[in-house]
Chains A and B, each alone.
Chain A
Amino acid sequence: EPEVTQTPSHQVTQMGQEVILRCVPISNHLYFYWYRQILGQKVEFLVSFYNNEISEKSEIFDDQFSVERPDGSNFTLKIRSTKLEDSAMYFCASSEGLGVYEQFFGPGTRLTVL
């Protein structure tokens, strides 16, 4: 069964460092998303991506964040200068779009900023 994969599973970084979180969405899906979940809180939408551009972004997704689809399979989230409050689980998701709304999530990357 096709699935969304994410690497690494756990990333530890120092405050102020750049991190790149990687995702491989399901191959025939057209919409890609990043969400995050701070420990004990809700899963929050960060950004959606369609047709090689950002469709929508939340207030959380400020200038420190960027997304990219560098090739036909990978979808990345970059945080330029990490802050302590960026520590969270980051989930990538994808959906077929075109009237199919179910989003399928990856296993997540746990980001720890020290």
Chain B
Amino acid sequence: EIVLTQSPDTLSLSPGERATLSCRASQPIASNYLAWYQQKPGQAPRLLIYDTSKRATDIPDRFSGSGSGTDFTLTISRLEPEDFALYHCQSYGGSPPNTFGQGAKLEIK
């Protein structure tokens, strides 16, 4: 069973800075089936990135995903105030079909 570990647990940055969030898998993820979600307090998660690097509909291009094998990254090139939120990575298509990381909080410094 794949275990996803996100780091850091909390990242403190200022608007305009670049954010890099990591997601490490305990074993290689087949076909790079990895997604990223953003979740704001009291809201449902929103799909940002799927298949490691494909942006979901209406997601700004400041969000990008990369990686392969066991190491994956979500990068936000220039933080906007609305980007401060909780971020989840998810692997899919394996066994079990879906696994999530523990979540990482991006907070304003």
A and B bind: no
